[in-house]
Structure 1
């Protein structure tokens, strides 16, 4: 089945809201939900914690052992001055070798925990992207008609990447920082409790400053992620229509709009990054104050013989190590805000409403005749504004049904109801006597083949694009479908023929050629019911004539719904539905509708109006 895509309108919904400085709606709830995902990898996480603790503990013991070596060296020097045995290099060597072994073991443990945590974060990234991809296929058409593509892409790329990177960095850093703070505190107390109390004075000051910075930065991290999605959406939209922008000299307006949005993103990102960057210099300043106080008191204790030189060295190192993990904890708190902001947007997307993919008792039929019945159908995109009122029609198998009317009359709405992109408000649409709501959506849509005015071709070979209609088709069947669509000739004239790769926008073939390829795709799908929405509007008259012949062959024996502006092409339709302002105002054959001298007659005659000079117009009027 040939699928088509239309660019959605820009909207500011739950994911696209651009409230400046918006805070995360539910930080605790988001982190709890994130933990549910992470708990699937609890074995790897447990091992990560154990190796992280081991690596940190070995690193913490190091300064104390190094202090012992310094004390041994100092004692030896003093002994040599007083005529003693001098420096015991053998003992110092043993201490240093033991210290080297500890540091190597700490590095190995650190490598292992990093490898494990990277694996967890990447598995989570894979899982979330897979869920998002599957979610897209289950979401209703109304969602994509009211959301910006770029914002959805930002969730799949930026938010998932942000979550992965911040999780990978913050999780292990959180563990090591907590263990370091506790371990260093224990080691400092074992050396001298007075100097430890002096070092601890910096903690309340640090806690107050950190809490204030985190409080102010949280809302900006959320705003940064929101605005990033908005800017991505604008870039994707403008680049996709770049030729139109250039044709209408709209570069200035587009640039001004981008600069406005980009400046908003800049302000939000600048504030979040600036506040995050304040952590290090503030904590370093406080740490230096504590360092100076410890050095003065430690010197006094060493002179008075209350502490060894090696222990002073160890304590000063521990003082440095004590402030560093506190700084890291402050940075982790900021990273957790970024993680929560990204995760919240991802979970909001995953919790969006879905289509009911399966019916309670789905219809199971091997053979379909293709009859369609509309029974007292009422429908409105907004329940308060019904646009189709009490429409009924009977379509026999193999009939050709034309849907006509001015632009915006609701012709495509009828197709959306048939394909069950939307459900009717009341009444029913039946296929072979079965309500379409009793079908699984996949089974229902497999009955239809579509060729729309807006062509959609993906980046790949021409062969792959045609085969998209039926993935199991052989090469010979693809060639036959292309010939039936009168596409085979032009394909063979292209470089590499059927193996020519279409670029992302398929701009390396003409609009008419793209339409021919989508028609070939529909022919290959061999559907029971055919839907043609302005299928020949993008081709020249000569090509249209050839395509029309191919379409006539394609429609033989199939129920066909044709949306057309060129009313001359649907004169032979078995039933014509005339729409106006969302309602079906007339229905019947061409001759019956002309005889009624109603709205259809005025539409038909308007396409053959004469100019003021009495000469026939070369271009039919568009309705």
Structure 2
């Protein structure tokens, strides 16, 4: 699917019934305003002819039209928001699905703040310059159509004059198209940077607090906010120039149509009501044409935003499934550089099923990098990593990752219930939660808390509690291989020993990184690799 070319209609199509009803609501609004304009013109003609009965009839029609129009505005606002929110949700789902299917390294080329900006700021821009603009364009098309029919009912020459000036109005906004695209892109990028910078500032709050530098928060936000403001002001300035130019052309065109209507009246070709009709409907048509021209330019500016969402290449998912590991995993002359700094240099390792290993070495020797290579977080390495003699890159990501549990020092916690954090895939509803919590040292939580409704987040948990939850999560997944990167570093020695003992007593392949390898642990390892 080419999102870049069909993005708006791609998201309208799944909700075609809702959008068709929205179309009917828009048409009703344009129709009532047209009825009001025609009634106003004929009311003036009736007044000039001293036809009191018809005058009051047309006034009544005007009042009814305005009542219907007022009700239509309320319905339009409510239903439009309802439909747009459905489409927004679908966009967010598609973004999340796409990000979940790109390479790990591609995902981490951007920060979480930038992705948050996609889901918030950019969606808002799509609403403002995409859906709202498209709604205005459709409204304007209906308005032009009904107004043209109304003018034709008075005299066809009015339509000819309108057509001539319409061409001029359509051409005018094209001079602003490229500049508008550039400015919209600049605002989108500025929003990303501001969100990213904001996250970074708040993440460093403890640093500012502990050094009595809270005022830096204000200074930094002021500086970054001004940068964002300048980009938005620049966009607003260009938008103002575009609308100002279009308004000038529109007003000149309306004056010309008014002169044509006056000429028709002076020659007794059309009634006096034609003058008000020409004034009202020409203003409506030219304003709508001006809107279509400008709004079409705005509509196209959302295209780069969608291009950004789906720019990263998706993973190839038609790879071979890895069913089991019988011989083991082998590193053959594996090398890896990070920013031109050598992290691994021709490393050779072998991990056999069911055996226990430790990676030992100073900081920066590549221990954690080896685990990331095993997890598939890093793919741009030299050398070969094979499983049972076959290159790991031939296997699908899902079947490969399902072989591993990765217990790291900083254990991630999602905002959700305790049960959702433990059974993260929601694959095992029959787990013995009491036994599981006792096994990881969190039995006290099952006494007075319902794990299926107790909400947790990173801010209310200690580092040790997070690591215990991560280990409980690994027990449910029950994978063949456990990668243990300082996974008990935040626990007291007794609690850490219980978990480490549990892991080493299993029949799983275990690869440990630890700065505190006790003699007991060393004696139970099959191989210690020194890096």
Q: Same fold (TM over 0.5)?
A: yes
Could you tell me how far 1:372 is from its partner in structure 2?
2.7
Change (3 A) 1:407 1:387: closer
Structure 2 residue aligned with 1:460: 416
The 5 A counterparts of 1:382-531 are 387-423=343-379, 425-430=382-387, 436-468=392-424, 471-474=427-430, 477-489=432-444, 491=445, 496=449, 498=451, 501=454, 503-504=456-457, 506-531=458-483
Could you tell me how far 1:355 is from its partner in structure 2?
3.2
The 5 A counterparts of 1:19-30 are 30=4
How many residues are paired up?
Answer: 526
Measure, in 1, the Cα distance between the counterparts of 2:133 and 2:496.
60
The 5 A counterparts of 1:45-56 are 52=26, 56=30
Could you tell me how far 1:532 is from its partner in structure 2?
1.1
Could you tell me how far 1:466 is from its partner in structure 2?
2.6
1:537 aligns with 2:489: yes
CA contact 1:377–1:388 (8 Å) conserved in 2: no
Structure 2 residue aligned with 1:345: 308
Structure 2 residue aligned with 1:560: 510
Please, which runs of 5 or more residues in structure 1 have no aligned partner? Answer: 1-27, 77-86, 580-623
**Residues 187-234 of structure 1, C-alpha deviations (whole Å, 9 max, x = no match):** 445545777777778657755653444453332111111110111112
**Residues 256-295 of structure 1, C-alpha deviations (whole Å, 9 max, x = no match):** 4443332221111112123324555555555555556666
Change (3 A) 1:523 1:65: closer
Structure 1 residue aligned with 2:278: 315
The 5 A counterparts of 1:102-251 are 121-185=84-148, 187-188=150-151, 191=154, 206=169, 210-249=173-212, 251=214
CA contact 2:407–2:487 (8 Å) conserved in 1: yes
Could you tell me how far 1:45 is from its partner in structure 2?
5.8
Structure 1 residue aligned with 2:522: 571
Could you tell me how far 1:485 is from its partner in structure 2?
2.1
CA contact 2:253–2:286 (8 Å) conserved in 1: no
Change (3 A) 1:358 1:533: farther
Measure, in 2, the Cα distance between the counterparts of 1:395 and 1:216.
58
Change (3 A) 1:304 1:464: closer
Structure 2 residue aligned with 1:355: 315
Change (3 A) 1:470 1:316: closer
CA contact 1:459–1:501 (8 Å) conserved in 2: no
Please, which runs of 5 or more residues in structure 2 have no aligned partner? Answer: none
**Residues 395-427 of structure 1, C-alpha deviations (whole Å, 9 max, x = no match):** 444322110111121111111222233345433
Change (3 A) 1:149 1:322: same
CA contact 2:3–2:310 (8 Å) conserved in 1: no
**Residues 116-145 of structure 1, C-alpha deviations (whole Å, 9 max, x = no match):** 876764444333222222222222221233
Measure, in 2, the Cα distance between the counterparts of 1:44 and 1:357.
34
CA contact 1:70–1:309 (8 Å) conserved in 2: yes
CA contact 1:34–1:343 (8 Å) conserved in 2: no
CA contact 2:418–2:456 (8 Å) conserved in 1: no
**Residues 15-66 of structure 1, C-alpha deviations (whole Å, 9 max, x = no match):** xxxxxxxxxxxxx993445445545566766776677557535643542343
- Give the secondary structure class of the aligned counterpart of 1:147: coil
Measure, in 1, the Cα distance between the counterparts of 2:134 and 2:211.
51
Could you tell me how far 1:561 is from its partner in structure 2?
0.6
CA contact 2:484–2:513 (8 Å) conserved in 1: yes
Structure 2 residue aligned with 1:548: 497
Measure, in 2, the Cα distance between the counterparts of 1:174 and 1:425.
54
Structure 2 residue aligned with 1:266: 229
The 5 A counterparts of 1:68-79 are 68-76=42-50
Structure 2 residue aligned with 1:325: 288
Could you tell me how far 1:544 is from its partner in structure 2?
2.0
Question: Which deviates more, 178-187 or 103-112?
Answer: 103-112
Measure, in 1, the Cα distance between the counterparts of 2:424 and 2:31.
58
CA contact 1:486–1:547 (8 Å) conserved in 2: no
- Give the secondary structure class of the aligned counterpart of 1:380: strand
Change (3 A) 1:165 1:290: closer
CA contact 1:469–1:522 (8 Å) conserved in 2: no
Structure 2 residue aligned with 1:364: 323
CA contact 1:124–1:164 (8 Å) conserved in 2: no
Change (3 A) 1:391 1:470: farther
- Give the secondary structure class of the aligned counterpart of 1:488: coil
Change (3 A) 1:316 1:358: closer
Question: Which deviates more, 52-61 or 194-203?
Answer: 194-203
Change (3 A) 1:250 1:209: farther
Could you tell me how far 1:391 is from its partner in structure 2?
3.6
- Give the secondary structure class of the aligned counterpart of 2:334: strand
